[in-house]
Structure 1
Amino acid sequence: MNTLEINASGNFESWSPGKIKELKDQRISNDLGQNLIFENENIRLWEVILLPNERLPFRKINMDYSWVSLTSGLAISRYADGKIILMRIDKGDSAFLKCKEKTYIYDLENKGNDILFFHLTEFKHQTIKKYLSKGVRLKANKSSND
Protein backbone atom coordinates (compact mmCIF):
# COMPACT_ATOMS: atom_id res chain seq x y z
CA MET A 1 0.00 0.00 0.00
CA ASN A 2 1.23 3.47 -0.85
CA THR A 3 0.01 6.44 1.18
CA LEU A 4 0.22 10.17 0.67
CA GLU A 5 -0.79 12.78 3.24
CA ILE A 6 -3.01 15.25 1.38
CA ASN A 7 -4.09 17.34 4.37
CA ALA A 8 -2.07 18.05 7.51
CA SER A 9 -3.20 17.45 11.08
CA GLY A 10 -4.92 20.50 12.55
CA ASN A 11 -6.13 21.78 9.17
CA PHE A 12 -9.87 21.47 8.59
CA GLU A 13 -10.14 24.05 5.78
CA SER A 14 -10.62 21.42 3.05
CA TRP A 15 -13.18 19.47 5.08
CA SER A 16 -16.86 19.60 4.18
CA PRO A 17 -19.14 21.08 6.87
CA GLY A 18 -21.01 17.75 7.02
CA LYS A 19 -17.90 15.77 8.00
CA ILE A 20 -17.00 18.33 10.67
CA LYS A 21 -20.55 18.20 12.03
CA GLU A 22 -20.41 14.39 12.09
CA LEU A 23 -17.31 14.57 14.30
CA LYS A 24 -18.71 17.30 16.56
CA ASP A 25 -22.02 15.48 17.02
CA GLN A 26 -20.08 12.37 18.09
CA ARG A 27 -22.12 10.14 15.77
CA ILE A 28 -19.22 7.71 15.78
CA SER A 29 -19.49 3.94 15.70
CA ASN A 30 -17.38 1.56 17.78
CA ASP A 31 -17.73 -1.07 15.05
CA LEU A 32 -14.55 -1.67 13.10
CA GLY A 33 -16.38 -2.70 9.93
CA GLN A 34 -19.80 -2.91 8.33
CA ASN A 35 -20.53 -6.58 8.97
CA LEU A 36 -19.47 -8.63 11.97
CA ILE A 37 -18.97 -12.09 10.50
CA PHE A 38 -17.45 -13.89 13.51
CA GLU A 39 -16.85 -13.25 17.20
CA ASN A 40 -15.48 -15.24 20.10
CA GLU A 41 -13.79 -14.33 23.40
CA ASN A 42 -10.55 -13.40 21.63
CA ILE A 43 -11.38 -11.75 18.31
CA ARG A 44 -13.98 -10.14 16.11
CA LEU A 45 -13.79 -10.69 12.35
CA TRP A 46 -15.22 -7.83 10.32
CA GLU A 47 -15.98 -7.32 6.65
CA VAL A 48 -15.90 -4.02 4.76
CA ILE A 49 -17.23 -3.70 1.22
CA LEU A 50 -17.24 -0.23 -0.34
CA LEU A 51 -18.62 0.52 -3.79
CA PRO A 52 -17.05 3.41 -5.74
CA ASN A 53 -17.66 6.69 -3.86
CA GLU A 54 -19.14 4.81 -0.88
CA ARG A 55 -17.89 5.77 2.58
CA LEU A 56 -17.50 3.97 5.87
CA PRO A 57 -18.40 6.68 8.43
CA PHE A 58 -16.10 7.63 11.29
CA ARG A 59 -15.12 4.76 13.56
CA LYS A 60 -13.69 4.85 17.04
CA ILE A 61 -10.81 2.37 17.13
CA ASN A 62 -9.30 1.41 20.49
CA MET A 63 -8.26 -2.20 20.01
CA ASP A 64 -5.40 -3.67 18.00
CA TYR A 65 -6.40 -5.05 14.63
CA SER A 66 -5.09 -6.41 11.38
CA TRP A 67 -6.55 -6.06 7.92
CA VAL A 68 -6.11 -7.61 4.50
CA SER A 69 -7.39 -6.21 1.22
CA LEU A 70 -9.07 -8.67 -1.10
CA THR A 71 -9.18 -6.13 -3.96
CA SER A 72 -7.15 -3.23 -5.30
CA GLY A 73 -8.25 0.38 -5.35
CA LEU A 74 -7.94 3.97 -4.23
CA ALA A 75 -9.26 5.36 -0.94
CA ILE A 76 -9.01 8.34 1.38
CA SER A 77 -9.18 8.34 5.14
CA ARG A 78 -9.98 11.38 7.29
CA TYR A 79 -8.71 11.47 10.87
CA ALA A 80 -10.35 13.33 13.75
CA ASP A 81 -7.27 15.56 14.06
CA GLY A 82 -7.77 16.89 10.50
CA LYS A 83 -5.22 14.73 8.68
CA ILE A 84 -6.35 13.17 5.40
CA ILE A 85 -4.42 10.44 3.61
CA LEU A 86 -4.77 9.05 0.11
CA MET A 87 -4.11 5.32 -0.20
CA ARG A 88 -3.31 3.19 -3.25
CA ILE A 89 -4.25 -0.32 -2.12
CA ASP A 90 -3.18 -3.49 -3.88
CA LYS A 91 -4.92 -6.85 -3.58
CA GLY A 92 -3.22 -8.76 -0.76
CA ASP A 93 -1.99 -5.68 1.10
CA SER A 94 -2.19 -6.15 4.85
CA ALA A 95 -1.10 -4.50 8.07
CA PHE A 96 -1.24 -4.84 11.84
CA LEU A 97 -2.22 -1.70 13.76
CA LYS A 98 -1.45 -1.42 17.46
CA CYS A 99 -3.56 1.08 19.38
CA LYS A 100 -1.30 1.17 22.47
CA GLU A 101 -4.23 1.98 24.78
CA LYS A 102 -5.15 5.02 22.65
CA THR A 103 -8.31 5.76 20.68
CA TYR A 104 -8.24 6.70 17.01
CA ILE A 105 -11.12 8.11 14.99
CA TYR A 106 -11.17 7.97 11.20
CA ASP A 107 -13.31 7.13 8.20
CA LEU A 108 -12.65 5.35 4.90
CA GLU A 109 -13.97 6.38 1.49
CA ASN A 110 -13.60 4.52 -1.80
CA LYS A 111 -12.33 7.05 -4.34
CA GLY A 112 -11.61 4.51 -7.10
CA ASN A 113 -13.69 2.90 -9.81
CA ASP A 114 -13.70 -0.61 -8.33
CA ILE A 115 -15.14 -2.25 -5.22
CA LEU A 116 -12.92 -2.24 -2.13
CA PHE A 117 -13.20 -5.40 -0.04
CA PHE A 118 -11.41 -5.93 3.29
CA HIS A 119 -11.34 -8.44 6.13
CA LEU A 120 -10.33 -7.05 9.50
CA THR A 121 -9.47 -9.00 12.64
CA GLU A 122 -10.00 -7.05 15.86
CA PHE A 123 -8.09 -8.40 18.84
CA LYS A 124 -9.85 -7.99 22.16
CA HIS A 125 -7.49 -6.50 24.75
CA GLN A 126 -7.59 -9.52 27.00
CA THR A 127 -6.35 -11.66 24.10
CA ILE A 128 -3.20 -9.65 23.54
CA LYS A 129 -2.53 -9.29 27.28
CA LYS A 130 -3.02 -13.05 27.77
CA TYR A 131 -0.41 -13.91 25.15
CA LEU A 132 2.03 -11.26 26.33
CA SER A 133 1.72 -12.39 29.95
CA LYS A 134 2.71 -15.92 28.86
CA GLY A 135 5.78 -14.59 27.09
CA VAL A 136 4.53 -15.71 23.68
CA ARG A 137 6.47 -14.08 20.85
CA LEU A 138 4.69 -13.52 17.58
CA LYS A 139 6.81 -14.10 14.49
CA ALA A 140 6.25 -12.69 11.03
CA ASN A 141 5.66 -15.17 8.24
CA LYS A 142 8.66 -15.60 5.99
CA SER A 143 8.12 -15.20 2.28
CA SER A 144 8.99 -17.98 -0.13
CA ASN A 145 11.94 -15.86 -1.29
CA ASP A 146 13.70 -16.08 2.12
Structure 2
Amino acid sequence: MPLFRFFLLLLPLLELATLILLGQRIGVGATLLWVLGTGLLGLVLIQRQGWSMLQQLQIRMAENRSPFAVLKTGMWWLLAGVLLMIPGLITDALAVPCLVLALVSRGKPGPGEPGGPNVWRRGNTTIIEGEWHPDDPDQVSPDRRIDRD
Protein backbone atom coordinates (compact mmCIF):
# COMPACT_ATOMS: atom_id res chain seq x y z
CA MET A 1 0.00 0.00 0.00
CA PRO A 2 2.79 2.51 0.67
CA LEU A 3 4.09 1.87 -2.86
CA PHE A 4 0.67 2.76 -4.30
CA ARG A 5 0.62 6.00 -2.29
CA PHE A 6 4.09 6.83 -3.56
CA PHE A 7 2.98 6.38 -7.19
CA LEU A 8 -0.17 8.37 -6.48
CA LEU A 9 1.98 11.27 -5.29
CA LEU A 10 4.48 10.80 -8.10
CA LEU A 11 1.90 10.99 -10.92
CA PRO A 12 1.07 14.73 -10.54
CA LEU A 13 4.77 15.56 -10.39
CA LEU A 14 5.44 13.59 -13.57
CA GLU A 15 2.44 15.22 -15.26
CA LEU A 16 3.74 18.65 -14.29
CA ALA A 17 7.21 17.82 -15.58
CA THR A 18 5.84 16.62 -18.94
CA LEU A 19 3.71 19.76 -19.28
CA ILE A 20 6.75 21.94 -18.55
CA LEU A 21 8.77 20.07 -21.17
CA LEU A 22 5.92 20.33 -23.68
CA GLY A 23 5.64 24.06 -22.95
CA GLN A 24 9.34 24.51 -23.64
CA ARG A 25 9.08 22.51 -26.85
CA ILE A 26 5.92 23.93 -28.47
CA GLY A 27 5.20 27.02 -26.38
CA VAL A 28 3.01 27.95 -23.46
CA GLY A 29 -0.03 28.91 -25.52
CA ALA A 30 -0.11 25.64 -27.45
CA THR A 31 0.36 23.70 -24.22
CA LEU A 32 -2.57 25.51 -22.61
CA LEU A 33 -4.68 24.82 -25.70
CA TRP A 34 -3.70 21.14 -25.45
CA VAL A 35 -4.75 20.96 -21.79
CA LEU A 36 -8.04 22.80 -22.41
CA GLY A 37 -8.80 20.77 -25.54
CA THR A 38 -8.25 17.40 -23.93
CA GLY A 39 -10.17 18.47 -20.84
CA LEU A 40 -13.16 19.53 -22.94
CA LEU A 41 -12.92 16.34 -25.00
CA GLY A 42 -12.97 14.30 -21.80
CA LEU A 43 -15.99 16.23 -20.53
CA VAL A 44 -17.86 15.70 -23.80
CA LEU A 45 -17.03 11.97 -23.76
CA ILE A 46 -18.32 11.58 -20.22
CA GLN A 47 -21.52 13.53 -20.91
CA ARG A 48 -22.44 11.94 -24.23
CA GLN A 49 -21.45 8.39 -23.44
CA GLY A 50 -22.82 8.57 -19.91
CA TRP A 51 -26.32 9.52 -21.02
CA SER A 52 -26.16 7.09 -23.93
CA MET A 53 -25.07 4.29 -21.62
CA LEU A 54 -27.89 5.02 -19.16
CA GLN A 55 -30.47 4.98 -21.96
CA GLN A 56 -29.09 1.73 -23.38
CA LEU A 57 -29.07 0.16 -19.92
CA GLN A 58 -32.71 1.09 -19.39
CA ILE A 59 -33.64 -0.41 -22.76
CA ARG A 60 -31.70 -3.60 -22.05
CA MET A 61 -33.20 -4.00 -18.61
CA ALA A 62 -36.73 -3.36 -19.94
CA GLU A 63 -36.17 -6.08 -22.58
CA ASN A 64 -34.76 -8.42 -19.89
CA ARG A 65 -31.42 -8.64 -21.71
CA SER A 66 -27.92 -8.73 -20.31
CA PRO A 67 -26.44 -5.25 -19.70
CA PHE A 68 -22.87 -6.63 -19.72
CA ALA A 69 -21.83 -5.36 -23.17
CA VAL A 70 -23.23 -1.87 -22.50
CA LEU A 71 -21.48 -1.66 -19.13
CA LYS A 72 -18.18 -2.85 -20.56
CA THR A 73 -18.17 -0.33 -23.41
CA GLY A 74 -19.43 2.47 -21.17
CA MET A 75 -16.74 1.76 -18.60
CA TRP A 76 -14.00 2.23 -21.20
CA TRP A 77 -15.57 5.49 -22.46
CA LEU A 78 -15.89 6.80 -18.92
CA LEU A 79 -12.32 5.89 -18.00
CA ALA A 80 -11.01 7.53 -21.17
CA GLY A 81 -13.01 10.67 -20.41
CA VAL A 82 -11.72 10.88 -16.85
CA LEU A 83 -8.13 10.36 -17.99
CA LEU A 84 -8.51 13.07 -20.65
CA MET A 85 -9.90 15.52 -18.10
CA ILE A 86 -6.81 15.19 -15.91
CA PRO A 87 -4.26 17.68 -17.26
CA GLY A 88 -1.07 16.06 -18.44
CA LEU A 89 0.45 13.98 -21.19
CA ILE A 90 0.77 10.70 -19.29
CA THR A 91 -2.94 10.44 -18.55
CA ASP A 92 -3.72 11.51 -22.14
CA ALA A 93 -1.50 8.69 -23.38
CA LEU A 94 -3.28 6.26 -21.03
CA ALA A 95 -6.64 7.41 -22.41
CA VAL A 96 -5.79 6.31 -25.96
CA PRO A 97 -5.89 2.54 -25.22
CA CYS A 98 -9.14 3.09 -23.33
CA LEU A 99 -10.63 4.78 -26.39
CA VAL A 100 -9.43 1.94 -28.61
CA LEU A 101 -10.93 -0.68 -26.29
CA ALA A 102 -14.20 1.28 -26.17
CA LEU A 103 -14.38 1.34 -29.95
CA VAL A 104 -13.44 -2.34 -30.26
CA SER A 105 -15.99 -3.50 -27.69
CA ARG A 106 -18.77 -1.32 -29.12
CA GLY A 107 -21.55 -3.41 -30.60
CA LYS A 108 -20.14 -6.77 -29.50
CA PRO A 109 -22.81 -9.01 -27.98
CA GLY A 110 -22.51 -10.00 -24.35
CA PRO A 111 -22.97 -13.44 -22.80
CA GLY A 112 -26.40 -14.88 -23.49
CA GLU A 113 -27.15 -12.50 -26.36
CA PRO A 114 -27.56 -13.64 -29.97
CA GLY A 115 -24.10 -13.88 -31.49
CA GLY A 116 -22.39 -13.89 -28.11
CA PRO A 117 -21.27 -16.75 -25.90
CA ASN A 118 -24.05 -19.10 -24.83
CA VAL A 119 -25.06 -19.28 -21.18
CA TRP A 120 -26.47 -22.36 -19.44
CA ARG A 121 -27.65 -22.96 -15.91
CA ARG A 122 -26.97 -26.26 -14.23
CA GLY A 123 -28.24 -26.22 -10.67
CA ASN A 124 -26.68 -23.24 -8.90
CA THR A 125 -23.88 -22.99 -11.48
CA THR A 126 -23.92 -20.62 -14.46
CA ILE A 127 -21.87 -21.82 -17.41
CA ILE A 128 -20.67 -19.35 -20.04
CA GLU A 129 -19.52 -20.99 -23.24
CA GLY A 130 -15.94 -20.47 -24.26
CA GLU A 131 -12.97 -22.16 -25.84
CA TRP A 132 -10.40 -23.90 -23.71
CA HIS A 133 -7.92 -26.54 -24.71
CA PRO A 134 -5.87 -28.35 -22.06
CA ASP A 135 -2.20 -28.96 -22.72
CA ASP A 136 -2.66 -32.62 -21.93
CA PRO A 137 -6.19 -34.07 -22.32
CA ASP A 138 -5.34 -36.85 -19.87
CA GLN A 139 -4.95 -34.30 -17.07
CA VAL A 140 -8.64 -33.37 -17.16
CA SER A 141 -10.49 -35.87 -15.00
CA PRO A 142 -14.02 -36.87 -16.06
CA ASP A 143 -15.54 -35.49 -12.84
CA ARG A 144 -14.15 -32.02 -13.71
CA ARG A 145 -15.68 -31.99 -17.20
CA ILE A 146 -18.90 -30.17 -17.93
CA ASP A 147 -20.87 -31.85 -20.67
CA ARG A 148 -23.75 -30.14 -22.35
CA ASP A 149 -27.10 -31.93 -21.92
TM-score range for the pair, normalised by the shorter chain length: under 0.3
Structure with more relative contact order (C-alpha pairs < 8 Å, separation 6 or more): 1
Give the greater-gyration-radius structure (CA). 2
Q: Which has the higher strand share?
A: 1
